Amino acid sequence: MKWKETDFNAGIEKITAVLLYGPDAGRVDEYCDTAIKKLEIDKDNLFALDADDFRDKQDALFAESCTPSMFGGRKMVIISGAGDAMTSRIAELIEHSGLCATVLVCAGDLRTGSLRTYFEDDKKTNVAALPCYTDDARALAALIRSELSAAAGIKQITPDAMAYMTAHLGGDRAITRGFLTKIALYVDDKKTVELDDVEKCLPDTGAVVADDFFYSLTAGYIAQTMQALDRLLYTGVDSNKLLRQLQMHFKKLQVAVVDGQLPNLFWKVRDKFNMAMKIWPASEIDGVLVRLSELERQIRTTGMPAEVLFRDFALKLALRANRLSIKRRN
């Protein structure tokens, strides 16, 4: 069956297995941590393995998962990097009559396939699927207000400070929460978050360069796009993280184009985003989001360097944006 976040919080103690999938790896980790705490899983009863371990150590896993714990309590198995090729064996584990563990299956941005079909089947009441998508701007702003209010009693966030945070956060829930904890400690008793506070807590030039990359790309500035990307890759920024952030950027652009309204943005990037809204039709954005999901699959399955694949893709997107810009001017 299909779950929402509220279903997870209410039902994790009653379910046998959950599929956690989507581009937000931090949110997947957060759900795993929540399950461990709610079910009071002892570290000796927790077994985490990736797709390779699952393939190579299946006999040992089945034996361990179907044997009652020597220490008492329930066991938990967390399988990361899952894909459709593993569906039948995962189903065999879940449906084993002697299973003594809760099973969390963690995957990337899965399209509908055998794994999702198995977990989303409404006829199966012991399994569920929960998507883990990145926060959109509205949900991210709500999260920021909620976390800062709970952590430090913060009552007010200036518009520029909120715009800066929503521009730089949201691609990964764990990173977002870590930053919000940092800023809550920084402002302490002030009760108001201003732009200067945010910049001091998130001052890294990498964030500024990332802005330059995303907003230059969608505005069609080819040279600026590739220069910013080369700087990011040179400093060791993970291509997979950039891919997830680029997905979020295009989703933000998609909402803005459909609504016809410029969102609340940091002033330094407002003009480029406004230009992107004028040159990108909604149909083109839909196509980009599909190709980004396909790129994620290629990175995961082809064995080619992620940096090479992502750089080539970014160049093609910047060229396309540039052509759309020229077409609009003519």
Q: What is the pLDDT of residues 36-51, one digit of tens each?
A: 999 999 888 998 888 8
| Whether the predicted pLDDT of 204 surpasses 70 | no
pLDDT at 25: 73
| CA–CA separation, 117 and 172 (whole Å) | 26
CATH fold of 205-329 reads Zinc Finger, Delta Prime; domain 3 (1.20.272)
The model carries a pTM of 0.56
| Whether the predicted pLDDT of 203 surpasses 60 | no
* Domain boundary assignment for the chain: 5-131, 137-201, 205-329
pLDDT at 170: 65
Confidence of residue 266 (pLDDT cuts 50, 70, 90): low
What is the rounded average pLDDT for all residues in the chain? Answer: 85
| CA–CA separation, 156 and 154 (whole Å) | 6
Q: Are 18 and 12 in contact (CB under 8 A)?
A: yes
Q: Which residue has the higher pLDDT, 135 or 67?
A: 67
| Whether the predicted pLDDT of 172 surpasses 70 | no
| CA–CA separation, 296 and 110 (whole Å) | 10
pLDDT at 302: 83
pLDDT at 173: 73
Q: What is the pLDDT of residues 280-312, one digit of tens each?
A: 999 999 999 999 999 988 888 888 888 999 999
Kindly state the average pLDDT of the residues 123-148: 84
| Whether the predicted pLDDT of 143 surpasses 60 | yes
| CA–CA separation, 19 and 104 (whole Å) | 6
**What DSSP character marks residue 324?**
H
Instruction: Give me the half-sphere count of Cα atoms (radius 13 Å) on the Cβ side of residue 157.
Output: 23
Q: What is the pLDDT of residues 313-322, one digit of tens each?
A: 999 999 999 9
Three-state SS string across 238-287, please? CHHHHHHHHHHHHHHHHHHHHHCCCCCCCHHHHHHHHHHHHHCCHHHHHH
Supply angle C-alpha 77, 10, 96, rounded to 5: 35
pLDDT at 236: 78
CATH fold of 5-131 reads Rossmann fold (3.40.50)
pLDDT at 18: 96
Instruction: Indicate the range of 17-21, 104-108, 162-166, 276-280 predicted with least confidence.
Output: 162-166
Q: Are 98 and 69 in contact (CB under 8 A)?
A: no
Confidence of residue 205 (pLDDT cuts 50, 70, 90): very low
